[in-house]
Amino acid sequence: MTDLLLHTAQELYKLPRTGRRAVVMTMGALHEGHATLIRTAREEAGPQGQVVVTVFVNPLQFGAGEDLDRYPRTLDADLAIAEEAGADAVFAPAVDEVYPGGDPQVRISAGPMGERLEGATRPGHFDGMLTVVAKLLHLTRPDLALFGQKDAQQLALIRRMVTDLNFPVGVVGVPTVREEDGLALSSRNRYLSAAERHTALALSRALFAGRDRLAAQAALRARAEASPASDERATALARLGEIRASADAHAVSAAGAGLPDAVRAAALHILDEAGRHEPPLVLDYLALVDPLDFTETGQDFTGQAVLAVAAKVGSTRLIDNIPLEFGAHS
């Protein structure tokens, strides 16, 4: 396994290049979510290509009071997982290899999108993330870079940086990997006690409740379009005493209104309940956003959106999200 391991830029530069090179950037503490990224990179690079995994806990991404010191370092286990998943090399540099002059004076700015949601909670986080991603792209010189969709805002910002600054690399998003109970895989899950983990399941349950509400409302909308006179029908049914049928017809008539708010409300109901658990879930944000700039969606929004949530359970902060599609026949 040590044959995979590279510590310096010079070692990386000497790595023979074969076919397409795909890179998977991590902060270590690898789990099945990372293994899925590496396996996908192996597929994308092809049998003649090359997969490089980076393992670097980037201090620029951690603010005051965050968990830099206790962030897990498990390099031996990471090497085994990377090799099993199909990596050709693991680049695990020291901090002074990546930042040889100390903290860099020139950094990438995440701009307005980097100040929203995660950026509002963790000022400077995305500037630090983009700075190290830019450096690692220069060092590894890949054709493709793969990132998990669980960190949706990070993925959106990397895509924006690559486009705006003309990086010659393709960015591939890989769907979130979940435990059987729905909890999104994260290196921070290991910090959760059994009771905290039970509370944390509310994050994925809330997202799925929002998704299910959208599907139900979309089905009602389809019925409304097939029965454009449903409001008049509801009034007629009420006169005849058909209260249940009348209520259904009214629901069909109103199906097209307020879809984003209905999705948010369904998710928030689950999160509010979890706030009364022991231990409680402490909500940071629930947001339904446009993935292009992470601004909140309006009531007439159509197209793909991201339903995102962040919360603390005990001392552990967790994030999760799912993509949703809004349209006439969502």
pLDDT digits (tens, 9 = 90+) for 203-230: 999 999 999 999 998 787 776 666 655 5
Q: What is the pLDDT of residues 29-42, one digit of tens each?
A: 999 999 999 999 99
In the predicted model, is pLDDT for residue 283 greater than 50?
yes
In the predicted model, is pLDDT for residue 244 greater than 60?
no
How would residue 177 be classed by pLDDT, with cut points 50, 70 and 90? very high
34 is catalytic: yes
In the predicted model, is pLDDT for residue 193 greater than 60?
yes
pLDDT of residue 88: 97
Q: What is the pLDDT of residues 97-153, one digit of tens each?
A: 999 999 999 999 999 999 999 999 999 999 999 999 999 999 999 999 999 999 999
Average pLDDT over the chain, rounded to whole?
90
CA distances from 12 to 184, 222, 237, 251, 266 (A): 32, 56, 74, 61, 49
Q: Tell me the C-alpha distance between 212 and 315, whole Å.
A: 30
Q: What is the pLDDT of residues 265-282, one digit of tens each?
A: 999 999 999 999 999 999
Average pLDDT over residues 225-245: 56
Share of the chain above pLDDT 70, in %: 88
Choice between 65 and 314, residue whose per-residue pLDDT is larger: 314
For residue 23, give the nearest of 32, 12, 31, 14 by alpha carbon: 12
Which uninterrupted H or E stretch holds 265?
Answer: helix 259-274
Share of the chain above pLDDT 90, in %: 80
| 7, 31, 34, 198: the active-site residue | 34
How would residue 242 be classed by pLDDT, with cut points 50, 70 and 90? low
CA distances from 160 to 10, 155, 164, 288, 295 (A): 29, 9, 6, 19, 15
pLDDT of residue 249: 47
